[in-house]
Amino acid sequence: MATLHTLGVDSLSLRGTSGEYHRLSRFFRNRIEAENALASGDFVPVGGVVNAVLVGGEGILIYNEVTNSFDNLSDGVYQYIDDKISTLANDLDSGDLDSIAELAAAINNNPNFWSDTESSLAGLVSDVSTEVQARTAADVLLQSAVDAKLAAEADTVRELLGIGEYADDAAAGTGGVASGAMYYNTTTSDYRQKS
């Protein structure tokens, strides 16, 4: 029996029902690499069949023709597990709750634990949002004050530093500015180095 050490293929076609062949193509380092290959046309899915790729850290992703993106194959598994847990939780009666007395004790037998926690978190989110808005407004106000102060003293600073104002490089040369020295270009309203 022969041994094959390395096999390089672009796509592996696996037969489904009848003569329909689905594609397992490519192995990407991460989702971003896969999405970039899709967007650039480097990876072109075959229409009408299942197109799957392997992605490091995420496993098998399935190309979604409707959204033109990749869906994680395990998303359906997670939804199935969530549904089963929800069904189980909804089927609990008071006798079942006695068996989890330790959990009840841990939350101080508070029947409103989840809603209380949610309310507390909502309050924290609101406080953080208010603080961020206040800090952002203060930053804008401070920057405005700094900009105004700098604009008011710009001429004085230029004079102290010996930086002249000229319309362009030629005018700066005529004004005696040496090559490599700084001057303020009044045409573009910025500092330039004399050529």
**Is pLDDT of 164 > 70?**
yes
**Residue spans of alpha helices (H) in 68-112:** 75-90, 94-98, 101-106
All residues at 6 or more sequence positions from 150 whose CB lies less than 8 Å from its CB, including other chains? 157
| Tokens encoding 148 | 């105004």
What is the per-residue pLDDT for 176?
87
Query: Binning pLDDT at 50, 70 and 90, where does residue 28 land?
Result: very high
Give me the amino acid identity at 106. Answer: A
Give me the amino acid identity at 14. Answer: L
Q: What are phi and psi of 176, to 5 degrees?
A: 95, 10
| Tokens encoding 64 | 């979604």
- Cα torsion angle, 94, 95, 100, 104, sign: positive
What is the per-residue pLDDT for 42?
92
**Is pLDDT of 96 > 70?**
no
**Is pLDDT of 93 > 70?**
no
The pTM for the full model equals: 0.39
Gap between the Cα atoms of 102 and 113, Å rounded: 14
Report the share of the chain in percent with pLDDT over 70: 93
